[in-house]
Amino acid sequence: MPEFCKVERDGKILTVTIARPAVYNALHPPANFELEKVFDEFAADPDLWVAIVTGEGDRAFCAGNDLKFQAAGDGKLALAAKGFAGLTARYDLVKPVIAAVNGVAMGGGFEIALACDLIIASENAVFALPEPRVGLAALAGGMHRLPRQIPLKHAMGMLLTGRKVSAREGFALGFVNEVVPAAELMKAARRWAGEILECAPLSVRASKQCALEGLGAGSIQEAMQGRYDQLGAMLRSEDFVEGPRAFAQKRKPAWKGK
């Protein structure tokens, strides 16, 4: 059983709850390695199509790196190959992941959320990349993901000052998909997951891969002419036939994910 997180399966949805509430769900190397294994298993499991990641309690999603744990040692960190929480350097994950941000999302915690495909935030959520205030930098992708997800000047305003941003401002800036009362957060995250599950899973994975990998292309033409293995898998799938057939027969499609 995991020690630093809780894992729950509900049909095709996996919910992962970071469970270190005494330290605002801050992560130390053992927790990162544990979460890396959890998401390795999610990626490999054909029966799981969507993941939701959240934090235990009502105070914090994740306060980032456990600086007290780091300071108590030699100052060095053992890094998980797939990054902070096993997500921030997981560039090959084609299944969608939703961040249900239930409070503080600082530093690495915000970087976990930015690495997810959707961010659903409770009204008490707070986001920041405050690393420069303690002589560090947002090395788990924050410096690169944030300017790609919101306008550059707004991203620089957060990166260069470490200032805190509310859930409502995050929605206005564009990195939050929806803001809900705290009591409704998980219900809202599952609603989004349910809407994803209404779609063909291979179409979802192809869409995610094409969108994210296409960002590295120099033009729309180059992006459209790129090679995407998930697109090929979609075109060869049974679901590629099932979708139009179900539409023509005026019934809900029975997705197989193959």
178 is catalytic: no
> Is position 8 annotated as part of the catalytic site?
no
Distance of CA 160 to the CA centre of its chain: 23
Strand order in the sheet with 13-18: 5-10, 13-18, 50-55, 97-101, 118-122, 178-180
**Among 36, 56, 111, 238, the one annotated catalytic:** 111
Residue for token pair 């600086």: 67
Residue 39 CA to residue 54 CA, distance in Å, equals: 14
d(CA 118, CA 196): 11
Classify burial at 37, counting beta carbons within 10 Å of its beta carbon; exposed 0-12, middle 13-18, buried 19 or more.
Answer: middle
What's the rounded Cα separation, in Å, for the pair 84 and 87? 6
Q: Sheet harboring 104-106: ordered strands across?
A: 60-62, 104-106, 126-128, 165-166
Indicate which residue of 8, 41, 56, 131 is catalytic: 131
Q: Where are the beta strands (DSSP E) in the chain?
A: 5-10, 13-18, 50-55, 60-62, 97-101, 104-106, 118-122, 126-128, 165-166, 178-180
* Residue numbers annotated as active site: 111, 131
